[in-house]
Chains A and B, each alone.
Chain A
């Protein structure tokens, strides 16, 4: 800690930060634009000017930029000094010169950092009387809107987009007061994290185009703390609702998980909640005709089906813990099946076992960012766990930072730090069957079939620890690469191995674990991160369900005749004929879901369940972090949380214990009591009984308008806001005036700080943890961890055995290709692909061949090819994608129009 003086008052603050950061942490209102806690200082806007004094005798001082001034012992500054106050107002006046002053029609209005800072500096009256500069706007695609006239040239957009997110197609053009931030031509922003521009931009240049379709001011939204459901990372979000539809999602800061940023799938995928394909009333299938029914009627009907039947339940990795556990309770532990492909089920179990029994810890995204040597083994992270890719991109800065430190350049002095290291990057290796978006920061890439990728992993582990299994028949090139990777990981302080189940290859997962464990055994605190395909893959995995394949057996053998399916479209999980056969052999089929799917079409009873924004639920992320998503609003129609339907079925079936399940807390309590793996889960968020000064936390900002009028066209008497006995939040603007605990923050707002930048006021220190700690509770820890900075080397007991054995060398076939799954951030996820904006960016089905294979099969880019795989034949256009591993072709999975065909598999590709 260091002592600084602000306006004569002494404060103890941590070193290694700028005065601006220190002042904001101390709670001072100091305006800024070009600075951003995730981007550091560049000194462009000059808005954070303060007076600095040499010593206590100096009364004149000089103006300095607080963002460029390091904290140091005895530094004295004044924020209130008249000259710096007037300078800051003058800077705003300059920035506002050509600003269109169109706040009333600007989407940013009411949550605009420029508005906040303008008010904060006191600049009010306009003196500029000459013509303003104007720009032409660009169409940047369906996600981000562009309105350049509002620009104040703070450069945050291009710094974020290019330097932080690795994008190439957004740049500053021209000079002086005419700097234009845009693309060379109109077109969709290419980067998967472009949506963060909406929050990075301090004003209304970049705004949320999906919000524009159903615009609502921030203060008129009802919001709740939530968790993204579109992949396994578990980013924290703040969805906002008005008039019964979800309007948008913004980032909810969690220092350990998503920090300041989301991926575009997570930000813009929410619109599936508003889909016309939503199920809103229970439906009974009678004589091939579906007809809606009231909840009680549907429950009675369903109970009849359950009463006589031998029931099995199929859970879901996209359903909450509560819902899965309620189903498991309804059907019994032995009759609860995992609703995922069997191979995925097996791999999830294997990953969990590795993470829970091994040496290496699964890192948070915050820890991934700080890894200083990384091996990505068999994952296209940008497509399968997008937000993690953004963190990995930052990790390559860690080793070069050592040079920055040596030159005594503060790391936060962003451009100086970047200029000092130029293009130098820390060791980062990507091994995948095809090019990935992270290749541009990789020291080396390796393209091979899944088995050969695993062989590389085994070879790396062996090179680190010779007691790990050796790899026979390794080429010199691969052995050398393995040696290079091993060396880099061994020499790192915080090495990281990333893998996952995407290629459905167990050897890859074992190899990744072996590498991490070999490092741990050598005393390195290696981290091991597995991606998880869906938002509750690990939660479902921890429930020890039976594999889906056995459900068919159970039906065939007469063990079961009735199926209850929870929030799951089985047609995405297994080939069509198999699912058809499974469903056909069931006498009765009950499905709970929120969207119409091929599976709901077949159900005898459909219960409309609530998606993330319409109910409360807990999810376990790939890190092993249990996080609570709260209900944002009460949906219209017969929609209820899946666990509530299931509870009522339990009660109807005479399971009286279930009557005690009044809220999520009660379900979680039972869950925690019956399955030890979940014992910590109830701590993920305060219980429904939580109150501050006797009050709940309001979901609506205190400026929420129109409550008395919004339904006046229906009924002039103001309806009572819905009760929420299940959570500590209220559907109201009345509530605690203080900051709620971090897991309960529905939105960030602080007096004078209406924009997302108000998160400053909720953090223990700027860019650090939220006050009270970042939300979520880790439920997966290694049995024998190697602690970071702990004593070197594990003790004798902590010798985890290495796993598996390297697979045989992959042999490419002249007449066939190994078809591997290819994932798409836009399209491969089941729910977000139902959002119109995401749908627009989803690729059409295709088969990916490299040019050599295309030539061999006599196909050109765009030609229709016949792909025969696992007995099915599909006709797909060819996409020539160079850099694919030899003998390997790719098929995008999960896209609309692509059937499940159990990849990887050998395929014949021919000209039809």
Chain B
């Protein structure tokens, strides 16, 4: 199948410079975009059914159409690439930024043009130092060739682009936590509405968009929405970078048509389970998605289909659980992460997750009581979407609530045997 986003990524992951990027058709999307009206681009992106690749799956074109346009709009408007890839088990944006940084720069330039933003930030995970180096290099090259800066390619459009390294909190990757962090404040989430498209960074209209999402934009402009939709096996347009980690034969990332089944990703691309271990379940799209199990292997990995079976596509990068690994230990590990990363703003999150972590720790270490399981379920209910201020806690309890559903016997064994059966 046709590779779009990863076509320039080299096997040795060496830097793809501007020349190489241009040679493969790079910046044609931006050139074409500058001949179009911003509204036309937004319309095309809407038609393409591009949905946010950071995990939310919100239709990108719709998001952009919320930005106030024209002379009355507050200025400057901002674009922020969310490159704070801190979701456990997720490393797809890293590949894109290290493997083909100009693609993101071009995607951001086009997106900025479409929403008439004059300042663009890459909000980059603090540990992604190679990405930083390559993005800075790519941005410098792009400035030199007038793809960025004042009067891009001689047009009336100007955009300045900056790389901002994150201080390193999971909350920085939440759309509005990211804005607060960019402003130099605590990365607490913000009240929504108003949405950032109306009142965002420094109070101005802002679009925050995942790296992979932005990388798709130039191709939609160049090749059109119909072409983009045709790449997909389902309603959601485009390709998707899927990934797998855990005890599979070949952990990694693959760009495949949107809607490829879990089984194909797991068995064909990841090579199936390692010898001697058996598949027990997987988190389809990062740590904050519900477990799926054997019966779900033929589900198509897109936003709609995964949701139908009680989980979420998330980032599309799955974490695989095998029979040699304790599911309680795995969930404890995850809940430790989420409890630690709670910003401390809303009660269900800061109190619920720390309680959940302590209860799981007790169970894993042979101190569990059966009432703990009821309470864990209760916490999952309390942290449901809408009950909390942002999506952290609802996401955090997704692996927990599904583990309680699919691996209940393992929890019971821990409590009954007063020990972790996986430990010697």
The residues of A with any CB-CB pair to B shorter than 8 Å are: 42-47, 49, 62-64, 68, 87, 90-91, 94-95, 97, 127-128, 130, 152-153, 155, 172, 174-179, 407-409, 413, 415-416, 419-422, 424
**B391: interface (CB < 8 Å):** no
CA distance A97 to B357 in the complex (A): 13
> Which of these, B194, B340, B345, B354, contacts A420 with CB under 8 Å?
B194
A409 and B199 form a contact (CB under 8 A): yes
A407 and B351 form a contact (CB under 8 A): no
Q: Which of B50-58, B288-296, B314-322, B381-389 contacts A (4 or more CB under 8 A)?
A: B381-389
A153 and B344 form a contact (CB under 8 A): yes
Question: What chain B residues lie within 8 Å of A63 (beta carbons)?
Answer: 386-387
How many residues of B are counted as interface, with CB atoms below 8 angstroms from the partner's CB atoms?
37
Question: What chain A residues lie within 8 Å of B378 (beta carbons)?
Answer: 90
CB distance from A94 to the nearest CB of B (A): 3
| A-B residue pair count with CB separations less than 8 angstroms | 109
A97 and B346 form a contact (CB under 8 A): no
B340 and A176 form a contact (CB under 8 A): yes
| Listed residue (B341, B354, B359, B362) with the most chain A CB atoms within 10 angstroms of its CB | B354
A176-B353, A176-B354 known; A46-B348 Cβ under 8 A: yes
CA distance A415 to B358 in the complex (A): 32
CA distance A152 to B346 in the complex (A): 10
Question: What chain A residues lie within 8 Å of B340 (beta carbons)?
Answer: 175-176
B191 and A422 form a contact (CB under 8 A): no
Question: What chain A residues lie within 8 Å of B347 (beta carbons)?
Answer: 44-47, 91, 94-95, 152-153
**B143: interface (CB < 8 Å):** no
Question: What chain A residues lie within 8 Å of B375 (beta carbons)?
Answer: 127
A94 and B342 form a contact (CB under 8 A): no
CB distance from B396 to the nearest CB of A (A): 11
**B355: interface (CB < 8 Å):** yes
CA distance A152 to B351 in the complex (A): 10
User: Which chain B residues numbered 358 to 381 have a C-beta less than 8 Å away from chain A?
Assistant: 358-359, 362, 371, 375, 378
A49 and B387 form a contact (CB under 8 A): yes
CA distance A422 to B350 in the complex (A): 27
User: Which chain B residues numbered 16 to 35 have a C-beta less than 8 Å away from chain A?
Assistant: none
Q: Which residue of B lies closest to A421 (CB)?
A: B203
**B250: interface (CB < 8 Å):** no
A97 and B199 form a contact (CB under 8 A): no
CA distance A63 to B378 in the complex (A): 16
Can you show 14 pairs from A to B with CB atoms below 8 A apart?
A43-B191, A44-B389, A63-B386, A87-B387, A130-B358, A153-B344, A153-B347, A176-B339, A176-B353, A178-B344, A407-B198, A415-B190, A416-B190, A419-B190
**B422: interface (CB < 8 Å):** no
CA distance A424 to B202 in the complex (A): 11
| Listed residue (B202, B343, B345) with the most chain A CB atoms within 10 angstroms of its CB | B345
Q: Which residue of B lies closest to A133 (CB)?
A: B354
Question: What chain B residues lie within 8 Å of A413 (beta carbons)?
Answer: 191
Q: Which residue of B lies closest to A62 (CB)?
A: B386
A68 and B191 form a contact (CB under 8 A): yes
B199 and A420 form a contact (CB under 8 A): yes
A175 and B348 form a contact (CB under 8 A): no
CB distance from B405 to the nearest CB of A (A): 21
User: Which chain B residues numbered 181 to 209 have a C-beta less than 8 Å away from chain A?
Assistant: 186, 190-191, 193-194, 198-199, 202-203
Question: What chain A residues lie within 8 Å of B362 (beta carbons)?
Answer: 130
B343 and A175 form a contact (CB under 8 A): yes
Question: What chain A residues lie within 8 Å of B346 (beta carbons)?
Answer: 43-46
A46-B346, A179-B344 known; A94-B203 Cβ under 8 A: no
CB distance from B379 to the nearest CB of A (A): 9
Question: What chain A residues lie within 8 Å of B339 (beta carbons)?
Answer: 176-177
CB distance from B310 to the nearest CB of A (A): 19
Question: What chain A residues lie within 8 Å of B348 (beta carbons)?
Answer: 46, 90-91, 94
CA distance A90 to B374 in the complex (A): 14
B389 and A97 form a contact (CB under 8 A): no
**B352: interface (CB < 8 Å):** yes
User: Which chain B residues numbered 70 to 111 have a C-beta less than 8 Å away from chain A?
Assistant: none
CA distance A46 to B169 in the complex (A): 23
CA distance A43 to B176 in the complex (A): 15
Main secondary structure of the interface of B (DSSP, over half): helix
Question: What chain B residues lie within 8 Å of A174 (beta carbons)?
Answer: 344
A87 and B344 form a contact (CB under 8 A): no
Question: What chain B residues lie within 8 Å of A177 (beta carbons)?
Answer: 339, 342, 344, 350-351, 354
A64 and B389 form a contact (CB under 8 A): no
Question: What chain B residues lie within 8 Å of A46 (beta carbons)?
Answer: 346-348, 387-389
> Which of these, B194, B351, B389, contacts A95 with CB under 8 Å?
B351
A422 and B387 form a contact (CB under 8 A): no
Q: Which residue of A lies closest to B349 (CB)?
A: A176
CB distance from A39 to the nearest CB of B (A): 14
Question: What chain B residues lie within 8 Å of A172 (beta carbons)?
Answer: 186, 344
Question: What chain A residues lie within 8 Å of B389 (beta carbons)?
Answer: 43-44, 46
| Listed residue (A42, A44, A176) with the most chain B CB atoms within 10 angstroms of its CB | A176
A90-B382, A407-B199 known; A416-B344 Cβ under 8 A: no
CA distance A130 to B344 in the complex (A): 19
CA distance A172 to B169 in the complex (A): 16
Q: Which residue of A lies closest to B375 (CB)?
A: A127
CB distance from A156 to the nearest CB of B (A): 13
| Listed residue (A64, A91, A152) with the most chain B CB atoms within 10 angstroms of its CB | A91
Given A44-B346, A49-B387, A416-B190, 18 more pairs with CB closer than 8 A: A43-B191, A46-B348, A46-B388, A63-B386, A87-B382, A127-B375, A128-B355, A175-B341, A176-B339, A177-B339, A177-B342, A407-B194, A407-B198, A408-B194, A409-B199, A416-B193, A419-B203, A422-B202
Question: What chain B residues lie within 8 Å of A422 (beta carbons)?
Answer: 202-203
CB distance from A879 to the nearest CB of B (A): 33
CA distance A128 to B359 in the complex (A): 9
CA distance A178 to B357 in the complex (A): 14
| Listed residue (A94, A130, A408, A421) with the most chain B CB atoms within 10 angstroms of its CB | A94
CA distance A91 to B351 in the complex (A): 9
A46-B389, A62-B386 known; A97-B351 Cβ under 8 A: yes
CA distance A44 to B352 in the complex (A): 14
> Which of these, B199, B342, B382, contacts A176 with CB under 8 Å?
B342
Question: What chain B residues lie within 8 Å of A47 (beta carbons)?
Answer: 347
Q: Which residue of A lies closest to B72 (CB)?
A: A406
CB distance from B113 to the nearest CB of A (A): 24
CB distance from A251 to the nearest CB of B (A): 27
Question: What chain B residues lie within 8 Å of A90 (beta carbons)?
Answer: 348, 378, 382
User: Which chain B residues numbered 233 to 291 have a C-beta less than 8 Å away from chain A?
Assistant: none
| Listed residue (B199, B202, B343) with the most chain A CB atoms within 10 angstroms of its CB | B199
Question: What chain A residues lie within 8 Å of B343 (beta carbons)?
Answer: 175-176
Question: What chain B residues lie within 8 Å of A45 (beta carbons)?
Answer: 346-347
Question: What chain B residues lie within 8 Å of A155 (beta carbons)?
Answer: 345
CB distance from A20 to the nearest CB of B (A): 14
Q: Which residue of B lies closest to A131 (CB)?
A: B358
A94 and B352 form a contact (CB under 8 A): yes
A419 and B199 form a contact (CB under 8 A): yes
What 9 A-B pairs are tightest by C-beta distance, nearest first? A94-B351, A179-B344, A130-B358, A416-B191, A176-B342, A177-B354, A420-B199, A175-B344, A422-B203
CA distance A708 to B340 in the complex (A): 55
CA distance A407 to B199 in the complex (A): 8
A175 and B342 form a contact (CB under 8 A): yes
CB distance from A719 to the nearest CB of B (A): 49
CB distance from B324 to the nearest CB of A (A): 29
CA distance A68 to B359 in the complex (A): 32
Q: Which residue of B lies closest to A128 (CB)?
A: B355
CB distance from A833 to the nearest CB of B (A): 39
CA distance A772 to B251 in the complex (A): 73
CA distance A409 to B193 in the complex (A): 8
CA distance A687 to B95 in the complex (A): 81
Question: What chain B residues lie within 8 Å of A152 (beta carbons)?
Answer: 347
CB distance from A898 to the nearest CB of B (A): 43
CB distance from A162 to the nearest CB of B (A): 12
CB distance from A840 to the nearest CB of B (A): 33
CA distance A419 to B202 in the complex (A): 7
CA distance A42 to B375 in the complex (A): 28
